[in-house]
Amino acid sequence: MTENTDISTDKTPKPVLNFIQEIIENDIRNNKNDARVHTRFPPEPNGYLHIGHAKSICLNFGLANKYNGKCNLRFDDTNPVKEDVEYVDSIMEDVRWLGFDWEDRLFYASDYFEQIYEFACQLIQKGKAYICDLSAEEISNLRGTTTQAGTESPYRNRTIEESLDLFHRMRAGEFAEGSHVLRAKIDMASPNMHMRDPILYRIIHTEHHRTGNKWCIYPMYDFAHGQSDSLERITHSICTLEFEVHRPLYDWFIRELEIYAPQQIEFARLNLSYTVMSKRKLLELVKNNYVNGWDDPRMPTICGLRRAGYTPESIRNFAETIGVARRDNIIDVALLEHCIREDLNKKAARVMTVMNPLKVIITNYPENQTEELDAINNPEDASMGTRKVPFSREIYIEREDFMEDAPKKYFRLAPGKEVRLRYAYYITCNDVIKDPETNEIIELHCTLDPLTKGGSSPDGRKVQGTIHWVSIQHAQQIQVNLYERLFTKENPEDLAEGEDFKINLNSNSLNVIKAYAEPYLGQNSVSGSKFQFERIGYFCADYNSTNHSPIFNRTVTLKDSWSKMQKS
Ligand code: ATP
Ligand code: MG
């Protein structure tokens, strides 16, 4: 009976930890860094954030929240040529929108330029860094290959005094770009290419978005990132896998400078099917007008997803669901779409809209009569209430909800068949009116059964189909942007020699149409309002300075290919 008193037999299931949480909990148990947890999200302000960054944001801020720690926002702004305040502002907006708060901990690597310059001087003084006068091309040629050692620079053994003097003069602006660089003196034969006397500083005569013209030498990302983490006393410096091979270099800097050592932990970056994620490629799409800006709803950027109708909750939930991995993989974009469907299913008001109208005349309904029928705003959430939908003699239904020669299994409208008009009446189709010249169907004549008002029959008679509709005289015409995925190929970057990823762009990724909506939609949409257009998909109202009535962007269709895959 003794085993029952052993607390280790406690049956309550422990939540499963991911490998980063395991490392952190272990560190807390060992009282490492006084059990502090301090992370950071360190974007370079050279583009807009994308869904991959969202994963990193959720991870870093999420860990800080979970372990009662802190998370900094730090801009790694070491390259003035590519960076801009436009990006800084958008990044702050996106992090906040995702629901995270850096409180008073907003930092910039450029705030540390003086300190990082000091670090560089220290390395020179220790004989661990030198000024090299080789050109970028010469440096690259002498680097060797993964199988062959590199060749030492002829400037490698220049005196400490000479290097220090040259470094001061580089800072003073005496030299042209490319004429000198500062390099670490490590090991040109190291099997790790990053250890082969990497460049620490280069001359760039470009104004910086924060430091203006104060500097004309800038630290390389590799020489700024780790030291910035150290200065901020970051405990767990979480980054993507490609930085694993940089870790020995970061550790070397920390050791040589004898400063506080954060622990770097690498995880697999998020890749999504049917998507490209690199900022360079996204910038190319924007610059060459393949899309309408960084916030085009087809873009995987956070601002693009927002305009498409994605919610912060759905993105956080997606990040949580995919978790963190140690090996590269590709996540199915259908999972992201599944996450937004789940969220909008709970939140979005339903409305009836007709995308491709076919006129229906209810011949036994009086010409001047209208009535208001009750409709449920969201069957998932009774608190969202009901609304009135106007009904009259002439309505639109979807063209694809009618077939003249319908097969047996077709449950929508056909000659002689009865269907339910959602929230209205049962109607039966009696006549099909065609254009005598083109033979195109132009209208249907139907009759309704007045006893079926509200959509059910007192005699228990069943109909198999329910279709949506709008009253023509009450309908509001709206512009709808039907977005599809931006790429046709699951992996747009899987290319043959000489091919460009843009060949995989979907030429049909945007269809603009005019649709008809019940009045409730126009009366209840502000910018960003989300709706389910019944039987069609989720849509988000998008106003901007040029359109005064909203455009509705399609977020996703209703067909959930992710759920289907999980069930089969
Ligand atoms: P890209 O390669 O898309 O241009 P980047 O890595 O250069 O992105 P940074 O601004 O340096 O962009 O990234 C800021 C943070 O976001 C880094 O910690 C980086 O590791 C993380 N991050 C960037 N892309 C992804 C991704 N696809 N998945 C997860 N984290 C990412
Ligand atoms: Mg980067």
What are the tokens at 50?
């994308």
| Contact present, 243 and 251 (Cβ < 8 Å) | no
User: Tokens for 43?
Assistant: 């974007």
* Best mutation site among 240, 266, 285, 320 for ligand 1 pocket (most ligand atoms within 8 Å of CB): 240
Q: Is residue 2 part of a domain?
A: no
Query: Per-residue pLDDT tens for 491-524?
Result: 999 999 999 999 999 999 999 999 999 999 999 9
| Structural domain contains residue 292 | yes
* 148 part of a folded domain: yes
Q: Report how far residue 398's alpha carbon sits from residue 356's, in angstroms, rounded to the nearest whole number.
A: 5
Q: Which of 128, 143, 269, 453 is catalytic?
A: 269
Of 255, 188, 208, the closest CA to residue 75 belongs to: 208
Q: Are residues 358 and 319 in the same domain?
A: no
CATH at residue 371: 2.40.240.10
Range of the domain at 43: 19-267
Ligand 2 geometric centre to CA of 44 (Å): 6
Query: 295-354: per-residue pLDDT in tens?
Result: 999 999 999 999 999 999 999 999 999 999 999 999 999 999 999 999 999 999 999 999
Residue 14 in this model has a pLDDT that exceeds 80: no
Does 9 score more than 90 pLDDT?
A: no
Say whether pLDDT at 564 is over 90: no
Active site residue 298: no
Q: Residue 410 domain-assigned? A: yes
pLDDT value for 1: 37
Cα–Cα distance list, 508 to 103, 282, 337, 489 (Å) = 43, 18, 19, 13
| pTM, 2 dp | 0.93
| Strand segments (E) across 243-369 | 263-267, 349-351, 353-354, 357-362
Confidence band, pLDDT 50/70/90 cuts, at residue 545: low
- The residue from 236, 251, 267 where one domain ends is 267
Among the candidates 235, 267, 299, a domain finishes at: 267
Please name the residue that has the structure tokens 């890749």. 271
pLDDT at residue number 102: 98
Kindly give, in sequence order, each residue whose CB lies less than 8 Å from that of residue 471, ignoring residues fewer than 6 positions away: 370, 389, 390, 391, 392, 394, 395, 518
The model's pLDDT over 125-180, given as tens digits with 9 standing for 90+, comes to: 999 999 999 999 999 999 999 999 999 999 999 999 999 999 999 999 999 999 99
CATH label of the domain that carries residue 212: 3.40.50.620
Question: Does residue 388 share a domain with residue 334?
Answer: no
Distance separating alpha carbons of residues 30 and 48, to the nearest angstrom: 39
* Same domain, yes or no: 399 and 533: no
What is the radius of gyration, based on Cα positions, of the chain? 31
Q: Tell me: the pLDDT tens digits for 49-67?
A: 999 999 999 999 999 999 9
Structural domain contains residue 6: no
Pair (309, 364) in one structural domain: no
Asked if 324 and 244 sit in the same domain, the reply is: no
Q: Would 14 be classed as within a structural domain?
A: no
With a 6 A CB cut-off, is 45 part of the ligand 1 pocket? no
Task: Find out whether the beta carbon of 74 lies less than 6 Å from any atom of ligand 1.
Answer: no
Among the listed residues 227, 267, 228, the one whose alpha carbon sits nearest the alpha carbon of residue 60: 267
Q: Which of 279, 306, 417, 530 is catalytic?
A: 279
One domain for residues 418 and 549:
no
Strands across the sheet with 70-75, in order? 38-41, 70-75, 106-108
**Which of 406, 437, 467 is where one domain is finished?**
467
Angle at 380 (CA atoms; ends 376, 385), nearest 5 degrees = 35
- Nearest by Cα to 326 from 452, 239, 221, 451: 239
Q: Is the pLDDT assigned to residue 223 strictly greater than 90? A: yes
> What secondary structure, in 3-state letters, does 91-145 show?
HHHHHHHCCCCCCCCEEEHHHHHHHHHHHHHHHHHCCCEEEECCCHHHHHHCCCC
What pLDDT shows up at residue 2? 37
Q: What is the rounded CA–CA span in Å between residue 268 and residue 329?
A: 8
Residue 473 lies in a domain: no
Q: At residue 8, does pLDDT exceed 50?
A: no
Q: 12 in a domain, yes or no?
A: no
Quick one: 67 and 190 in the same domain?
yes
Is residue 200 located within the same domain as residue 55? Answer: yes
Residues, the chain: 568
Same domain, 139 and 252: yes
Q: Are residues 276 and 230 in the same domain?
A: no
pLDDT in tens, 387-420: 999 999 999 999 999 999 999 999 999 999 999 9
Residue nearest atom 13 in ligand 1 by C-alpha distance:
43
pLDDT tier for residue 6 given thresholds of 50, 70 and 90: very low
| Contact present, 359 and 428 (Cβ < 8 Å) | no
Structural domain count, the chain: 3
Residue 336 CB less than 6 A away from ligand 1: no
pLDDT digits (tens, 9 = 90+) for 446-482: 999 999 999 999 999 999 999 999 999 999 999 999 9
pLDDT, the chain, mean: 95
Confidence of residue 4 (pLDDT cuts 50, 70, 90): very low
**Which CATH number belongs to the domain containing residue 329 in this structure?**
1.10.1160.10
567 is catalytic: no
Q: How confident is the model at residue 289 (pLDDT cuts 50, 70, 90)?
A: very high
Regarding the beta carbon of 54 and ligand 1, being less than 6 Å apart is answered no
To test the pocket of ligand 1, the residue of 53, 250, 318 to mutate (highest count of ligand atoms within 8 Å of its CB) is 53
**Is residue 339 domain-shared with residue 370, that is, in the same domain?**
no
Q: Is residue 368 domain-shared with residue 246, that is, in the same domain?
A: no
